[in-house]
Amino acid sequence: MRQLLRTAFVVAVLFAAPTLVSEAAGSGAELFEANCQICHQAQGVGVGGQYPRLAGRATVIASSPEGRKFMSQLVLNGMSGKISVDNQFVVGFMPGFDGLSDTDAAAILTYISGLESQQLQPAAFSAEEISAARLGGRVNPSEMATIRNRLAGQGVIP
């Protein structure tokens, strides 16, 4: 019951706020806090079984061209469906943040790619990468889950 109430609260907050926080001069950390932290938690630690952990995983994903393309598409299109993260299934919904500028979306992805990663340097995303993903056309959120699961099977996504 608590999980259902928490999910209902998050959905209500997301749909009640039609304008995303977007600050051209905002840092990736500030933009993450304003747009992503409600689900993925401070420092991207996530909530097991509900909201995937980003810390320590995003850098690995961003280390390959396929992973970078996926992350750029994900931030714009969102995702819905069943995925496995840290050996736990998550069935959920992430809204797309296509209202963010390309610069702000890139700043968020650069920030999350540096969370808790001692092995790899943060991957700097560019506004041009986000623009290319945007020009590639809209991808259905459930199709994003299919793409994600395929990339996980190939070892691109841990």
Q: What is the pLDDT of residues 122-151, one digit of tens each?
A: 789 999 999 999 999 999 999 999 999 999
What is the structure's pLDDT at 44? 95
**Of 17-21, 71-75, 95-99, which range is least confident?**
17-21
What is the structure's pLDDT at 26? 58
Domain count, the chain: 1
- Cα 91–chain centre separation: 15
The CA distance from 134 to 9, in Å, is: 29
What is the structure's pLDDT at 118? 62
Which residue, among 36, 32, 24, has the nearest Cα to 78 in the 3D structure?
Answer: 36
Mean pLDDT of 16-44: 75
140 falls within a domain: yes
Mean pLDDT of 14-19: 39
135 falls within a domain: yes
4 falls within a domain: no
Give the domain extent around 108.
25-153
6 falls within a domain: no
With cut-offs at 50, 70 and 90, classify the pLDDT of residue 21. Answer: very low
Higher-scoring residue by pLDDT: 14, 100: 100
97-119 burial, b for 16+ CB within 10 Å, e for fewer?
beebbbbbbbbbbbbbbbbebee
20 falls within a domain: no
